[in-house]
Chain A
């Protein structure tokens, strides 16, 4: 049961002080740029890409560091297959 840890969501994100062994993968080709994930990302580690995907959207991308693995972006994303969250940074 992957209950969300809401404390993680609400905590002050500081990747320098706390090291989270997690990451997020985004399939930019499927992203429709609704930006809901950026809106909810507490550690603020997602941004809009400057490049366009085939559908004509600027997809969201992971800045590469600081993901806490909270999974909120996965749940607010309306697309089935865009976001994958690796909570413990396991090899995919």
Chain B
């Protein structure tokens, strides 16, 4: 079915509304730029396969950063070199989509070399159009990984030397050593014959994805008259006579025939199924525990939990946050990750609030869980006046120096030992805090603990530890806090 009229493909917008300035009918590319031709070929192929309404075009960094001005399909602009990673995400989330990663040589072979290597190695079912003009065009024609030996650029004014800058990277050949890629071809935007070859390759690259065959990359040698400082017709000749002699044209790898099409099966879940998977009731609200009445001083706490790595600091924070969620509070949990995961000191920030939370970072602290001495030393002064400090008195052999804060001394490690597991120290502290602040109901915390703890054999110990902590607070009222009411728990 030959078309009688060759004209602007329908996969282009009729008017480029996103483009700034008054001229919304021409591209922003320089006269004679290869991008325009390649865009046209891609748009034509999109028309032909009828995939415009399910295509997602990933624009890179470079002159084609504005590809979303032109293509009437889904568009995302990715950070420099990261288009294959973004494409991977889109393709996996939306397996029915046709994802096009469009990248230049500085983008793909330079800063994004790692990204493309791994996307290709995973055999992502995406189509990559790799536009190679042997320089960084947009930024002012600096040397790119694909710059030819001896080629003068603004950063290699005497020509690229092997000794100084190494050899040009041949991306197709490099990727062809990997098992996964299905189709790798190098074409050039030069004369009619080569443009038609490029057209065919671009169509095949997209067709492979439509058929679910896997990773295709089309490297397109493309003129950059402005960057090279020559006229468009000379630039075209240079591609033909120099660039294409250094980068061999043709199919580098083609497993299209034997590639087994991946059956794309996107699971569709009903809302009931999703609720079941998440362990939530359908509307969620009947799964919330009641918010107890909380004394003003204990409302909306900004909590810092600190101790040795391995004391369950981050987990304690998670339990607090999860219980808060189950009680209908707003909450955030901000762990400090670092080399202290085992052995050093660890801390995390938890905010529980009746109101929406701006930043998860806790600076002025309402409640401090000091699980060891260094933590108390470090964070004691961050606690606000009339704030609460929970001290693990098993490991901290000094009193809190401040006298304007409320302090709860809990021999948490010893109490945990009594229930048979030193590691349950964190649950003892949680019990103490729950009893003190009454911010969650008892049931809520235990439910959350059951839900969160992965190793179910610890459930019983955890529950006992939690009760120990609670009872300790209820039974041994601290001398310093005589004004504190009696705590009643159901």
Complex Cα distance A35/B235, Å? 12
Q: Quick one: which of A71-92 are within 8 Å of B by CB?
A: 71-72, 74-88, 90, 92
Complex Cα distance A55/B8, Å? 20
Contact (Cβ within 8 A) A81 B192 = no
B residues in contact with A45, CB < 8 Å: none
Count chain B residues whose beta carbon lies closer than 8 angstroms to a beta carbon of A: 41
Q: What are 21 inter-chain pairs, A to B, with CB distance below 8 A?
A: A1-B3, A2-B3, A6-B193, A30-B25, A32-B32, A36-B233, A70-B192, A74-B7, A75-B40, A75-B192, A77-B36, A78-B32, A78-B34, A80-B8, A80-B27, A81-B7, A85-B7, A86-B5, A87-B3, A90-B4, A90-B5
Q: A4-B192, A75-B6 are in contact. List 17 more A-B contacts (CB 8 A).
A: A2-B3, A3-B2, A6-B193, A30-B26, A34-B32, A36-B232, A55-B26, A78-B36, A78-B37, A79-B26, A80-B9, A80-B26, A81-B25, A84-B5, A84-B8, A85-B7, A86-B4
Contact (Cβ within 8 A) A1 B35 = no
Residue from the list A35, A71, A92 in contact with B6, Cβ < 8 A: A71
**Interface check A63, CB cutoff 8 A:** no
In the complex, residue of chain A having the shortest beta-carbon distance to the beta carbon of B30: A32
A residues in contact with B35, CB < 8 Å: 78
> Which positions in A face B, CB cutoff 8 Å?
1-4, 6, 9, 29-30, 32-36, 39-40, 54-55, 57, 70-72, 74-88, 90, 92
Contact (Cβ within 8 A) A85 B5 = yes
Q: Is the interface of A mostly helix, strand, loop or mixed?
A: loop
Residue from the list B12, B193, B225, B232 in contact with A80, Cβ < 8 A: B12
A31 CB to closest chain B CB (Å) equals 9
CB contact under 8 A between A9 and B192, given known A39-B236, A78-B29: yes
Contact (Cβ within 8 A) A79 B27 = yes
B153 CB to closest chain A CB (Å) equals 22
